[in-house]
Amino acid sequence: MERTIRVLVAKPGLDGHDRGAKVIARALRDAGMEVIYTGLRQTPEQIVSAAVQEDVDVVAMSILSGAHNHLFPRVTELLKEKGVDDMLVIGGGVIPDDDIPGLKAAGIAAVFTPGSPTGDIIEFIKKNLKRKA
Amino acid sequence: MDDSAVSAERVRSGDARAAARLISMIEREDPSRLAVLKALHAYGGKAHVVGITGPPGAGKSTLTDKLVGDLRGRGRRVAVIAVDPSSPFTGGAILGDRIRMQRHATDDGVYIRSLATRGHLGGLSRAAGEAVRVLDAAGYDDVIIETVGVGQSEVDIVRIADTVVLVSVPGLGDDIQAIKAGVMEIGDVFCVNKADKDGAERVVREIRAMLETAVLNGAATRFTPLFEARSALRGADGSAPAATPNPGSTEQGAFHHIAAQAPGHPNLEIPPVVTTVAETGEGIARLVDEIKAHEAALAATGFLRSRREANLAWELGRGAAQRVLSELERDESREALTELARSVLDRDIDYYDALDALEDAMTRTRRAVTTA
């Protein structure tokens, strides 16, 4: 049976709305993926724990508030602590270009800023899954 | 983590990753799951399996979240399986039940797993039954299954759960909805959620009236056999039901507590109808009391065993049918089927002879396989 891609879509930090994350969730769903949506104001600990319990292939996070340099690397750090090395972690939101290299070095495989076509995100996920279908 | 690292030992030790991966292997029907499931078999049968079902928007997820909180307060480890529908067109799904339960995400005594139906009708996913067995063997005391929002015929949950909680809300429709066959017949405990909304009282009255009528008509419902087993037990030792309801503290108390008395029919027993406001937590403790009283009554009557027997017999039948279907989908079988179809169309044999021939052929193949 063909493997269904499971994605956790999460909003770490204190953002007030999640319209963008919902658009992404919907686009991934329409691309045939199963999207576990966790809602607003999640701590990195909650995100990692949910990712493990749901056995997802991808963790997709979005931040608008500017806390990405702290929260995104914290998630990859916690995953590493738990010995999880086969989940693809991607980020998105309002993120200055200057911050992207640092995030990539911290294990965020790709960063999608406002205006990124959802098709690019879907393609990136399909091409970069760490667990092979 | 590699799939081959999943072992019964790891699942048993409370390793959430191992349990999670095993459930994924079940979902894609990976044959390597079987060795682990077989090794886990000996440890199963201890969890209380509770189904939460009801129409979309009834508040099942919020209610489940609150049930988990209450059960944790009682020192129990809880697992949740939350099922949402897959798109029939793309196969994709948004699994959003977890949003309401995320406060439990970092509690080691709670495991939550979202499953998509992946084309399975009936209100659950095909993996749900095996997933329950995994979480049971992993040592969770309660396994709660939240079904998709059901209409009037998605009743798979009765085959898996020991106790089914049917959740209703005010404002869904007129009272004819309550007397239609289907989901209304499958509850062991009835819950009217959003009880602070207009019309909640009426929904309670309608459900009670429906249950009373079912009992008076001698209708076969999910709860009647338990009530019968209970009165037989009472008759056997000649004791009367306890006078004061005392949830769960003694068998008699649990017995008495499980069923509400129908107003106007003092001797008529119907399942409890509990009002809740899940958002605020109102009525949750009472709901958990009723769920646990039902479990106690099942255990005391021996009906837990007979319910599980019946469910397993049904599941085995389905499993066998699935094996036959898989066999028929093989290329050789397709050829044989086409051959037989030609013979029927040419009027050489009739349809029923063809079926008999097919059955014979399958039996022979199976014998050949088992003796080889």
More confident residue, A132 or B41: B41
The pLDDT assigned to B128 comes to 92
Query: Using an 8 Å Cβ cutoff, are B123 and B153 in contact?
Result: no
Question: Which residues in B lie closer than 8 A to residue A31 (C-beta atoms)?
Answer: 90, 92
For residues B170 and B204, give the distance between their C-alpha atoms in angstroms, rounded to a whole number.
Answer: 9
By mean pLDDT, which of B11-15, B54-58, B249-253, B301-305 is the weakest? B249-253
Contacts of B95 in chain A (CB under 8 A): 34-37
Number of Cα atoms under 13 Å in the Cβ half of residue B180: 10
**Taking an 8 Å Cβ-Cβ cutoff, which residues of chain A contact chain B?**
1, 3-4, 6, 25-26, 28-39, 42-43, 45-46, 49-50, 52-55, 82-84, 86
Confidence (pLDDT) at B355? 95
Identity of the amino acid at B291: I
Q: Which residues of B touch A46 (CB under 8 A)?
A: 102, 105-106
What residues contact B336, with CB distance under 8 A and at least 6 apart? B358, B361
- Chain A residues with beta carbon closer than 8 angstroms to that of B131: none
Contact B98 A30 (CB under 8 A): no
Measured between CB atoms, does B105 come within 8 Å of chain A?
yes
pLDDT, residue B235, reads: 64
Alpha carbons B261 and B80: distance in angstroms, whole number: 31
The pLDDT score that the predictor gives to residue B249 is 43
The Cα B237–Cα B294 span in angstroms is: 21
pLDDT given for residue B158 in this prediction: 87
CA distance readout (Å), A15 to A12, A40, A48, A94, A117: 8, 7, 19, 11, 22
What's the pLDDT score for residue A62?
95
Lowest mean pLDDT among A21-30, B230-239, B274-283: B230-239
CB B39 within 8 A of CB B8: yes
Note the CATH number of domain B44-301. 3.40.50.300
What is the C-alpha to C-alpha distance for residues B125 and B119, in angstroms, rounded to an integer? Answer: 8
The confidence score (pLDDT) of residue B259 equals 74
Domain ranges across chain A: 6-128
CB neighbourhood size of B56 (10 A): 10
- Say whether pLDDT at A85 is over 90: yes
pLDDT at site B1: 84
pLDDT for residue B250 is more than 50: no
Query: Please, which residues bridge with residue B192 across strands?
Result: B168, B275
The whole-number average pLDDT for the span B352-371 is 84
Res B174: pLDDT: 59
List the B273-275 sheet strands across, edge first. Answer: B110-116, B78-84, B142-146, B48-53, B163-168, B189-192, B273-275
Find the residue in B nearest to A55 (Cα).
B20
Higher pLDDT, B66 or B238: B66
Write down the pLDDT at residue B115.
97
Does residue B297 have a pLDDT over 90? yes
A34:B92 CB<8 A: yes
pLDDT in tens, B53-109: 988 889 999 999 999 999 999 999 999 999 999 998 999 999 999 999 999 999 999
Contacts of B96 in chain A (CB under 8 A): 37
pLDDT value at residue B176: 53
- Residue B48, beta-bridge partner list: B142
For residue B40, which of B26, B50, B29, B28 has the smallest C-alpha distance?
A: B26
pLDDT (0 to 100) of residue B120: 84
Contacts of B118 in chain A (CB under 8 A): 4
B322 Cβ under 8 Å from any chain A Cβ: no
With respect to CATH, is domain A6-128 assigned 3.40.50.300?
no
Answer yes or no: do B93 and A45 touch at CB < 8 A: no
CB B79 within 8 A of CB B112: yes
**Whether B27 contacts chain A with CB within 8 A:** yes
8-state DSSP, A115: T
**Interface confidence: ipTM more than 0.90:** yes
Residues with Cβ within 8 Å of residue A5, at least 6 apart in sequence: A32, A33, A34, A57, A58, A125, A126, A129, A133
Residues in contact with B250: Cβ distance below 8 Å, sequence separation at least 6, in sequence order:
B242
Q: How far apart are CA B97 and CA B68, in angstroms?
A: 13
Task: Choose between A20 and B115: higher pLDDT.
Answer: B115
Helices then strands, each counted (H, E), chain B: 13, 10
pLDDT of residue B248: 41
As a dihedral over the C-alpha atoms of residue B20, residue B25, residue B29, residue B33, rounded to 10 degrees, the angle is -110
Average pLDDT in the B144-169 region?
A: 87
Per-residue pLDDT band for A91 (boundaries 50, 70, 90) equals very high
All structural domains of chain B with their residue ranges? 1-42, 44-301, 330-371
Q: Is the pLDDT of residue B52 over 90?
A: yes
Read off the pLDDT of each residue in B42-49 and give the average, rounded to a whole number.
96
Q: What pLDDT was estimated at residue B182?
A: 61
Distance CA A98, CA A123 (A): 24
Report pLDDT for B246. Answer: 42
Burial A60-90 (b: 16+ CB within 10 A, else e): bbbbbeeebeebbbbbbebbeeeebeebbbb
Kindly indicate the confidence band of residue B134, based on its pLDDT and cuts at 50, 70 and 90: very high
pLDDT tens readout for residues A37-79: 998 999 999 999 999 999 999 999 999 989 999 999 999 999 9
Residues A38, A90 contacting (CB under 8 angstroms): no
Q: How many alpha carbons lie under 13 Å from residue B218 in its C-beta half-sphere?
A: 0
What does the pLDDT look like over B180-224, one tens digit per residue? 556 677 899 999 999 999 999 988 988 888 888 888 888 878 888
Instruction: Give the number of A-B residue pairs with CB atoms closer than 8 Å.
Output: 89
Average pLDDT, chain B: 87
